Chains A and B, each alone.
Chain A
Amino acid sequence: MSQMYQVRLASSVTRSVQAGDAVSYPLRLTGILPEEDLLELLRQALQRRGFVAPEGSQRSTAEEENPQLLTGQGSAGERIVVDLDAMTVTASLAEEADLATEVDVVGMGYSRKQAAEEARQDLEERRRQAEARLAREGKMVQKELTRRLADSDEERRGQLHEVLQEVYAEALKRKAGELGDVMEVREGTTPDGQYELVIKVAQ
């Protein structure tokens, strides 16, 4: 009676995934005051909300050379960079993941050599399948990151619009002061939830 040989082979399949995405918004400021004054108000408002100049390892080469940058963090963990020179706001997310899986096969044959060859071929095929599966998982990591960044868009823009609202309120107060004596300043919200600022000026 012939003897069947079995050869078992195992291997690890790994894949490093670097996922990242970014979205930029142009910043448009209504010219209530001269641009440099508005930008200074914006800088101060951002700093009050925790925005700082990028430091150390956070900085890219371009950022090191640009003193007009302020960075902060959004609710989805994204990095927000406000460029007061280029008048843009950029939100970015980056993630690294190491994906791994094990494959093992058993080859059978009437000789050790035959069994080893079958195991080797099987292993190759299983590795290819595992690599394809990890590639798909890697794409899912990227897709999920993009989804997080996209989903947080409305909240992020809402927060930045609140910052701009503060800037415009302060700018209007200063402008009113230039027009005459400010008699009254009243801030509040309308019944439908809109911000309202009333400034009375005596000329």
Chain B
Amino acid sequence: MEALQRIARFVWVPFVARLLLEGRVTNSPHSVLPLDEPEALTSDTVADVREIIRRGVWAYLVRHGGWRRTRFVDPRTDRAGEGRLWQAPHLEPPTFSPGSIRLLLLLFNATRTPAPAPATMMPNAGPRFQPAVDLPFDLSKSGDVLLHHIVFRRLRDVNRNDDWTARFAANPLNLLSHPHLFDVETAAAREPLARLLDDDLHPFLPWLAHDQVRAWSRLMPNHSLSSDGVLNQRQRQVWKTWTRLLVKAGRYDMLVPFVAFWSRLDPDSALRDFERLAGDCRLEERSELARPWVELLELGTWLHKTSGRVRALHPVDREAVHQLFLTACGEYDFDRVAAGIERLIQGLRPSLG
């Protein structure tokens, strides 16, 4: 037991700190730690890890968008504001369950190399999860949602293989930042995504959006759409679910990241990419290739129609969420962006009428 306690204190604790604070996943040839033997972790070890988790989550949020001055709406007062993450009103500190400790133990175990391999700082040290092992994930605690997301992002940074990503599908932040990785039906996505609108999580979203848009822009090679039809379909599936939830909840302010995303699209470049992709295809094959593109683009068209409905509201009837959305649409010249989207749709699949 002492040996395990030493491993926990002197290997696991630094592992957690490097993971959360530096984004490094380190392998080393040590024994794995037991999951169901609390005595393997001393109270000092647990206290240290809890503190690292608390600081690590906060540090990640600040570095990945939280430091930016960002517009937000406080739905309790219907007032718009602008500031950095720590200036957000009613921002509750994240809370964590014991599942957070268990998650980090599992991750530690999954990244051990059998002795006597030398200790290394392996840049592509991806996890090797046992198939039967479920990753703990409790949606009820905001801190767990954030930690789980950070772990996912850190692992993605070091290992782009997709064989382990499905285990992270239950986290709505993962679904939002990397929709193309998860094959989820609309109904299955609705409940986890709806969790993000709760009072303990939604205040973080305006700042997390910066990171999301950056992640989404990697799905746009040459300011075009991906040539991978499956990727486009998955992206559409998650986004459609989330944007409909936002409109239903009246959270038009949360549509701003999508306006930012669509403004990056270059319709001419996209059409050229598509022509290269379609090559000498028959027209039927071309139409089939175009379908996931068009279906994804129609989300942009829907967003523009939504902005039209909001603009049609009398200024007296507009709330802060409407105003913030319309301001963003104006700044990104969304009418011009939407015209480009429509032009691209017509190039891919002309319509009549």
Contact = CB atoms under 8 A, between A and B. Distances in A.
A26 B284 contact: no
A119 B123 CA distance: 64
Interface stretch (A4-12, A27-35, A43-51, A65-73): A27-35
Interface of B: 280, 282-284, 287, 349-353
23 contacts: A21-B282, A21-B284, A22-B283, A22-B284, A23-B283, A23-B284, A24-B287, A25-B349, A25-B351, A26-B351, A27-B352, A28-B351, A28-B353, A29-B353, A30-B353, A89-B352, A143-B280, A146-B282, A146-B283, A149-B283, A150-B283, A160-B352, A161-B352
Contacts of A26: 349, 351-352
A24 B352 CA distance: 10
A24 B349 CA distance: 8
Interface of A: 21-30, 89, 142-143, 146, 149-150, 153, 157, 160-161, 164
A157 B346 CA distance: 12
Nearest to B350: A25
Nearest to A24: B287
Contact of A23 (B280, B287, B353): B287
B344 to A, nearest CB: 15
Contacts, number: 38
Nearest to A164: B353
Contacts of B282: 21, 142, 146
B283 A21 contact: yes
Contacts of A160: 352
Given A23-B287, A24-B287, A164-B352, 9 more contacts: A21-B283, A22-B284, A25-B350, A25-B351, A27-B351, A28-B351, A143-B280, A150-B283, A164-B353
A28 B353 CA distance: 5
A197 to B, nearest CB: 17
B287 A28 contact: no
Contacts of B353: 27-30, 164
A160 B280 CA distance: 26
Contacts of A164: 352-353
Please indicate which of the listed interface residues A27, A28, A146, A160 has the most CB atoms of chain B within 10 Å of its own CB: A146
Across the A-B interface, the 8 shortest Cβ-Cβ residue pairs: A28-B353, A23-B283, A26-B351, A21-B282, A25-B352, A21-B283, A146-B282, A27-B352
A29 B283 CA distance: 24
B299 to A, nearest CB: 16
B352 to A, nearest CB: 5
